Structure 1
Amino acid sequence: MSFLTLEKRSKLSLTEIKEETLTEKIFRILAVMMIIIFPLALLGCFRVVKQYKRAVILRFGRVRSDSPAGPGIIWVVPCTDNVLLIDLRTQSFNLPPQEILTKDSVTVTVDAVVYFHVLKPLSCLLNVQSYKRATELITISALRNILGQYTLSELLTSRESISRTARKEIDRVTNEWGVEMERVEM
């Protein structure tokens, strides 16, 4: 009698095989997609920071404790981290010709080239909105103020010492932004 019950059970279990439900199909498709997409998403978590740059990483708008990061490979969490790259190389800009009134009331047109570089990437990102534009504007105003203190003959004879004075004056302001002036050539 036990043999007959086993035979009925096995026949019943073979005939009771049902087709997959819709939710089971959806979960199977999602599982296959996750297996395919996961390695690709993992590759998006790594960033390479070049030797001459530093990465300031903001997680949910706050500076991450290991910022500035680099050079090399850094780990970034997608959708939560914002990476801002700051260039540490020497940068330059031309000042447009400025008309300046000297001490002896002579109008002089002066143009200059300024060379600077970033010392502290975190400061230049957090302390000023655009460090490049701010450096350019402070250079223009400092040059006008400094050159207005000299006569025309002093301007022509002591350009190098005036450039050093201008660089020191500009550097005093830009150090708060993490920017260091290298040269001011008039």
Structure 2
Amino acid sequence: MKRVRINAGKIGLVFRHGDYHRVLTEGIHWVGFRESVTLYNTALSFTSNTIDLEVFLRDEALVALWHVIDVLDHELVIVYKNKKYSQTLTAGRYVFWKGLVDYQFTRADLTKIHITEKIDTAVFAKYDLLKHIRVFEVASYEKAVMLVNDEYVQTLTGGTYRFWRNDTTIKIAKADMRQLQLEIAGQELLTKDKATVRLNFHAQYKVTDLEKALLDTKDYEKQLYVSLQLALRAYVGSYSLDELLESKEALAQSVFENSKETSEKLGVTVLSCGVRDVILTGDMKEIMNRVLIAQKTAQAHVITRREETASTRSLLNTAKLMEDNEMLYKLKEMEYVEKIADKVGEITLSGNSGMVKQLKELFTTK
């Protein structure tokens, strides 16, 4: 016989000729010379590489010291040691010692997609658990439709959503619920009189029917773009260039009204439209510049003729007044003499009298 001491936190298993015989707990024990004792740390899980676990399970005294965890193929078991996450167990049989460590086990059924088990959010970040979970993020300004096996299930608002990873397919389609802007830039269109113009157009819109936009419509933004583009072509093609340039606001209003019905079918609402630029192409721009120059030149000629006519009419009225009033004639005559004298550097007069008469003879002709 030989004396064996089992310390606290240890368990001894006695083997005879390689076969398991009995279990030794804390204390002093005597074993035969042909028996060997293998010590196990009860703070760790139990593993045996030489003897099948089924052999040990025959000993009720040993099994009473164990947590025996059987994990099925469609299950996971989350292990907590002293209320802290330890590991995630997949399909198989696992053994943990009782007593020294406080173990807690949470069993999860992977045949369902929703995580209904009580699991702390921080635990989801652990890699050996995270690889069994599907995570979807929906921003605060977004909404999403959830499809399970390609069937609509529910609408998701902003937040983080986790589902068990299994053979069930889960798809998430998201849409931005804020006011959005759609730019239609550089559209070359033909007017009614075959003039080519380039339009830069914009529209503000918002998704108002999420299910219709994501489930009943394929790429609602592209379809909205095409509908606005067609409305632009229809409007521009029904007006001449001059009419179009004079009614840009009417163009935006017309496209806005025409897009209402189409946008509702797409699950969106157009809030406003506007024309940013109407650009004339190369040749048309040169022609319009010539037309503008000709118009301004004609306006200048009209103004010049108007002023000339007014000046002549004024002279005629003045002449009539002077014809009837000799004094007015004299004053007008002296006014012209004064204007002429301003341009003469020096005037020489002879004699002591008749200065006005001499000036008159100088500046007037018979």
TM-score range, shorter chain: 0.7 to 0.9
- Residue 78 of structure 1 deviates from its aligned partner by 3.9
Match of 1:87 among 176, 184, 189: 176
- Over 3 Å counting, the alpha-carbon distance change for 1:151 and 1:49 in structure 2 is same
- Over 3 Å counting, the alpha-carbon distance change for 1:78 and 1:85 in structure 2 is farther
- Over 3 Å counting, the alpha-carbon distance change for 1:76 and 1:122 in structure 2 is farther
1:15 aligns with 2:21: yes
1:123 aligns with 2:212: yes
Tell me the equivalent position of 1:107.
196
Q: Deviations over 1:29-62 (max 9, x none)?
A: 969x832236535894675533311110001100
- Residue 145 of structure 1 deviates from its aligned partner by 1.0
Contact 2:224 2:266 survives alignment (8 Å): no
- Residue 75 of structure 1 deviates from its aligned partner by 5.9
Match of 1:142 among 211, 227, 231: 231
Secondary structure of the residue aligned to 2:147 is: strand
Contact 1:99 1:110 survives alignment (8 Å): yes
Contact 1:127 1:176 survives alignment (8 Å): no
Gaps of 5+ in 1: 1-11
**For the residues of structure 2 that align with 1:180 and 1:115, how far apart are their CA atoms?**
9
- Over 3 Å counting, the alpha-carbon distance change for 1:23 and 1:180 in structure 2 is farther
- Over 3 Å counting, the alpha-carbon distance change for 1:23 and 1:159 in structure 2 is farther
Match of 2:262 among 169, 173, 176: 173
**For the residues of structure 2 that align with 1:77 and 1:135, how far apart are their CA atoms?**
37
The residue type equivalent to 1:126 in the other structure is: L
- Over 3 Å counting, the alpha-carbon distance change for 1:169 and 1:20 in structure 2 is farther
Contact 1:102 1:147 survives alignment (8 Å): yes
Match of 1:71 among 134, 155, 158: 158
What is the TM-score of this pair, normalised by structure 1?
A: 0.73
- Over 3 Å counting, the alpha-carbon distance change for 1:117 and 1:168 in structure 2 is same
- Residue 73 of structure 1 deviates from its aligned partner by 5.4
Report 1 or 2 for greater relative contact order, CA contacts < 8 Å, sequence distance ≥ 6: 1
Identity of aligned residues (%): 22
Q: Deviations over 1:44-103 (max 9, x none)?
A: 467553331111000110000xx3221345564544321221111122232131221112
Q: Deviations over 1:10-34 (max 9, x none)?
A: xx9x73679641789xx97969x83
1:163 aligns with 2:252: yes
The residue type equivalent to 1:181 in the other structure is: V
- Residue 161 of structure 1 deviates from its aligned partner by 2.2
CA RMSD, aligned part only?
A: 3.5
Gaps of 5+ in 2: 1-15, 24-47, 56-67, 79-86, 89-107, 109-118, 276-366
Tell me the equivalent position of 1:4.
none
- Over 3 Å counting, the alpha-carbon distance change for 1:20 and 1:168 in structure 2 is farther
Higher helix share: 1
Higher strand share: 2
The residue type equivalent to 1:15 in the other structure is: H
- Residue 104 of structure 1 deviates from its aligned partner by 2.6
The residue type equivalent to 1:182 in the other structure is: L
Looking at CA atoms only, which structure, 1 or 2, has the larger radius of gyration? 2
The residue type equivalent to 1:107 in the other structure is: T
Tell me the equivalent position of 1:154.
243
What is the TM-score of this pair, normalised by structure 2?
A: 0.40
Tell me the equivalent position of 1:34.
77
**For the residues of structure 1 that align with 2:235 and 2:218, how far apart are their CA atoms?**
26
Match of 1:59 among 145, 148, 153: 148
- Residue 111 of structure 1 deviates from its aligned partner by 1.8
